[in-house]
């Protein structure tokens, strides 16, 4: 388990202190400080080295870390020139005695929307969904815009950003099995090649155990499920966008267009170009 996790509550907006996209013009060591704000770090290129309390973190490209306020943060290793990352500084207050949020805990219509509840933000993620990365970049763009009403809406947007991150990275419902949580994780990472190592890191369980359980409950392997959601997304993109086959392959994490086309044909019985052509007949 990670230390220094951060709680957000449904009755308290976070307060943005600062944010931006930064590229290191020279090598440096992370600042030694005990900030009164939390720090979200999402690395785009390179690697961020930071220690929080007694825990060392190495945050590589595509990974996310949230540091807690009031804890000693400092660096031990140099962050190299050219490293590029997004940061969000925010203050937050939450009643840790409030009840955790379980969306399926009450029958439809019985949920008390006014009740205080909390969510735990993920401490460290070795991958984030393409959807969240886009939302994060959109948030930064808005925060740096000249919108006259920004000060009224920016903290609301920050709350939505953080709460969606918490919801989409936790299998907190009592009705969600481990296999359901794995399905959610694989669906959120269709643009990333399948990796048993990443799945182990995400769920802190052996891949052998999870693969046996998943196959028993879902009737397919994790890799087959991941392939199916990628191919379903490819079908959608072929029908609803003008993206080239190469662009679609790249978006779904295929470095080889020919291999993507072969996988697509095995899944649908048609080549991507034939599938796109045939789907046009129905519109």
Tens digit of each residue's pLDDT (9 = 90 or more) over 61-78: 999 999 999 999 999 999
| pLDDT given at position 94 | 56
pLDDT digits (tens, 9 = 90+) for 194-212: 999 999 888 888 899 999 9
Distance CA 31, CA 76 (A): 10
Q: Which of 25-34, 40-49, 99-108, 252-261 has the lowest mean pLDDT?
A: 99-108
Note whether 70 and 34 are within 8 A (CB): yes
List, edge to edge, every strand of the sheet that includes 7-9.
7-9, 117-120, 99-100
Domains of the chain: 7-103+117-168 (2.60.120.280), 178-282 (1.10.10.60)
Helix or strand run (H / E) with residue 192 = none
pLDDT above 80: residue 93? no
Q: Does the pLDDT of residue 110 top 80, yes or no?
A: no
Is the per-residue pLDDT at 118 higher than 90? no
What is the secondary structure of 37-81 as a DSSP string?
Answer: SEEEEEEEESEEEEEETTEEEEEETT-EEEEPTTS-EE-SSPBPT
pLDDT for the residue 104: 43
Number of residues that this document lists for the chain = 283
User: In the chain, what percentage of residues exceed pLDDT 90?
Assistant: 59
Across the range 138-159, mean pLDDT stands at 93
Report which of 244, 103, 243, 264 is spatially closest to residue 170, judged by C-alpha positions.
Answer: 103
Chain segment 181-195, per-residue pLDDT in tens:
898 889 888 888 999
Residue 112 above 90 pLDDT?
Answer: no
Tell me, what's the pLDDT at 174?
43
* Mean pLDDT computed over 263-282: 85
| pTM of full prediction above 0.85 | no
Section 71-88 average pLDDT: 95
Q: Give φ, ψ of 154 to 5 degrees.
A: -65, -40
DSSP β-bridge partners for residue 64:
42, 125
Kindly state the average pLDDT of the residues 89-95.
80
| β-sheet with 124-125: strand ranges across | 15-23, 84-91, 38-45, 64-67, 124-125
- Using the predicted structure, report yes or no on whether residue 40 has a pLDDT greater than 90: yes
Q: In the predicted model, is pLDDT for residue 265 greater than 90? A: yes
Q: Identify the pLDDT of residue 212.
A: 93
Q: What is the pLDDT of residue 59?
A: 95
CB atoms within 10 A of CB 148: 7
User: Mean pLDDT over all residues of the chain?
Assistant: 86
Q: What is the pLDDT averaged over residues 10-39? A: 93
pLDDT the model gives residue 259: 95
pLDDT at 54 over 60: yes
CA dihedral 144→147→150→153, nearest 10 degrees, is: -110
Q: What is the C-alpha separation between 232 and 267, in angstroms, rounded? A: 9
Backbone angles phi, psi at 39, to 5 degrees: -130, 120
Top-confidence residue, 98 or 94: 94
């Amino acid at each position: 388990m990670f230390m220094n996790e951060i709680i957000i509550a449904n009755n308290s907006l976070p307060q943005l202190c600062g944010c931006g996209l930064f590229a290191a013009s020279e090598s440096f060591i992370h600042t030694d400080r005990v900030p009164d704000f939390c720090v979200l770090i999402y690395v785009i290129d390179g690697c961020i080295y930071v220690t929080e309390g007694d825990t060392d973190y190495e945050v590589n490209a595509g990974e996310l870390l949230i540091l807690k306020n009031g804890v000693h943060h400092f660096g031990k290793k140099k962050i190299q020139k050219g490293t590029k990352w997004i940061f969000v500084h925010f203050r937050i207050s939450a009643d840790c005695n409030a009840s955790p949020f379980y969306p399926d805990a009450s029958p439809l219509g019985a949920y008390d929307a006014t009740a205080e509840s909390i969510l735990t933000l993920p401490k460290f993620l070795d991958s984030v969904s393409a959807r969240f990365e886009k939302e994060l970049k959109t948030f930064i763009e808005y925060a740096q815009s000249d919108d006259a009403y920004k000060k009224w809406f920016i903290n609301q947007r920050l709350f939505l950003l953080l709460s969606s991150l918490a919801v989409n990275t936790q299998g907190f419902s009592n009705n969600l099995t481990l296999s359901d949580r794995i399905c959610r994780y694989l669906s959120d990472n269709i643009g990333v090649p399948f990796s048993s190592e990443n799945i182990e890191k995400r769920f802190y369980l052996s891949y052998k155990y999870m693969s046996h359980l998943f196959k028993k409950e879902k009737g397919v392997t994790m890799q087959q499920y991941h392939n199916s959601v990628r191919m379903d997304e490819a079908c959608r993109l072929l029908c609803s966008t003008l993206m080239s086959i190469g662009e679609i392959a790249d978006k779904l994490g295929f470095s080889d267009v020919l291999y993507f086309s072969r996988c697509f044909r095995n899944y649908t019985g048609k080549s991507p170009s034939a599938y796109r052509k045939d789907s046009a007949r129905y519109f």
